[in-house]
């Protein structure tokens, strides 16, 4: 028997009339692949270690060979084919995307108009994915390849992950801050 999965509170869906809002998304400037590597490599390491520790805990408690946990991809913006790319990574199960409130820009992600940095807020999307240690290892390997060469070719269907890596603000396990986000 596997461990119970964490509760995931979702907000009620919102339907907006057509033609409202911007006709195109704001131009979000993002850091280089080298900067992303500096920022995110430790987060990938923490996530990988958390999965290995959870797998060891579940293995001792329940004899389960793989521990499944929810990973949160916090992006500055959205990625069109994220769900399709998730289906291509063995061990990933897409759960939801949450268009979160916009956040203040920072030195890594900010909105630019007419070549000038603005004080506009940066759109944020959280993607929730049920995953296991094997999938996290594959994701880490793809990230390392992308960091070394952003023009690297990924296997068919995984191309959207390059955009995910470029827009990734953080990657982490589902935690208490996520449980109370919608309350």
Average the pLDDT over 39-44 and give the result.
93
pLDDT digits over 110-137, tens only? 999 888 899 999 988 888 899 888 888 8
The better pLDDT of the pair 134, 143 is held by 143
What confidence tens digit (pLDDT) does each residue in 145-174 have?
999 999 999 999 999 999 999 999 999 888
**What are residue 94's DSSP bridge partners?**
129
- Give residue-wise pLDDT tens across range 69-100: 888 999 998 888 898 888 889 889 999 888 76
pLDDT of residue 171: 92
Whole-number percent of the chain with pLDDT over 70 = 74
Report CA torsion sign: 180, 77, 32, 118.
negative
State residue 111's pLDDT score: 92
Q: What is the pTM of this model?
A: 0.74
Instruction: Quickly state the pLDDT bin for 17 (edges 50, 70, 90).
Output: low
Report how far residue 66's alpha carbon sits from residue 37's, in angstroms, rounded to the nearest whole number: 27
Mean pLDDT over the full length of the chain: 81
Q: Render the burial of 120-136: b for 16+ CB within 10 Å, e for the rest.
A: bebbbbbbbbbbbbebb
């Amino acid at each position: 028997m596997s461990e119970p999965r964490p509760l995931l509170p979702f907000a009620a869906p919102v339907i907006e009339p057509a033609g409202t809002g911007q006709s195109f998304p704001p131009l979000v400037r993002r850091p280089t692949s080298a900067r992303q590597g500096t920022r995110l490599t430790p987060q990938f390491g923490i996530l990988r270690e958390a999965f290995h520790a959870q797998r060891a805990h579940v293995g001792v408690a329940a004899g389960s060979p793989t521990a499944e946990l929810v990973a949160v991809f916090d992006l500055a913006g959205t990625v069109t084919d994220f769900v399709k790319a998730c289906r291509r990574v063995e061990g990933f199960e897409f759960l939801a995307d949450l268009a979160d409130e916009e956040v203040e820009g920072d030195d890594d992600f900010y909105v630019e108009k007419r070549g000038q940095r603005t004080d506009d807020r940066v759109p944020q999307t959280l993607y929730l994915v049920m995953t296991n240690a094997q999938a996290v290892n594959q994701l880490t390997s793809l990230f390392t390849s992308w960091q070394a060469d952003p023009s690297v070719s990924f296997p068919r269907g995984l191309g959207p992950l390059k955009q995910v890596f470029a827009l990734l603000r953080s990657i982490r396990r589902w935690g208490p801050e996520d449980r109370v986000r919608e309350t």
